[in-house]
Structure 1
Amino acid sequence: MKAATLLLLCLLSSVALAMEPGERLAPWTLLDQFDAPYTLNDETHILLVARDMDGAKLVNAALEGQPKGYLEQRQAVFLADISRMPSVIATLFALPKMRDYNYRILLDRNARIAPRYPAGESEVLWLQLEDGQLLEQKVFKEAAALKQALDSVQAP
């Protein structure tokens, strides 16, 4: 009986995390790698979410060689869940390296925001937004496909 109850709770919790088109994303504020705040707002058209280091590496590879402001021109932001990274590693190695990137990385240090979005391991979740509402979501497991999708977005 306990096993059946546990299974049912797991299934219900995964359904609760599923996002549907038309759903409004709740606004949130996170700091980037330079400790500058960013608040999700109606101007954001693309939210990229990486829940682990492999997902973040996909974004980095897709953005390699792009000019500063590339994501901003597409009204896109990148959210990285770094909550599982030991704070010593983050402080001494990861954050200094992230400061060398020419794009903004919104850092979820406490898994406060990223778990709202159903991004899997070793992938990047793309949420297409309009006026704060979800239009569609895509999953990328290859940097080349993510780069191609980003390149196809027309800057407003």
Structure 2
Amino acid sequence: MGLSRRQLAGLAAGGSAALLLAAFGFQHIGGMAPCSLCVWQRWPHVVGVACGAVALFALPRAVALAGMMAALATAAIGGYHTGVERGWWKGPGTCTSSGTSGLSADELFDRIMAAPLVRCDEVPWQLLGLSMASWNMVLALGLAGIWFLALRAR
């Protein structure tokens, strides 16, 4: 006998809550301020936790589908962020570096003063060769799978 839809939803929502707590722990206890892409990755987890809260009272298929879509959204942002960190593509201009050749001293100074404090294209922490963005992507894909099982459960 497998897990019920409600149990699966609770497991997936708990996973999102754990990832949020870890992110806030790195930020507030570890002193690692998040870049804008890091913050963007948190919002779909909030939706996943909210879907889990709704699942305590009723779990129509739409709630499981919303939870799965939220997990896929944060995985996609995490994948995009990973690509920015690894230099596969450029990130948002608000949190990545750009070339400085051909700039005057005044233009360079203005660019330095306008630069974000936390850049999206730098990896401040990694485990087993994966950054936090990469781990978020991998784990969120697992959570999407759990939400999918909840969606399919009877």
TM-score class normalised by the smaller sequence: under 0.3
Give the TM-score normalised by structure 2: 0.26
Structure with higher Rg: it is 2
Higher strand share: 1
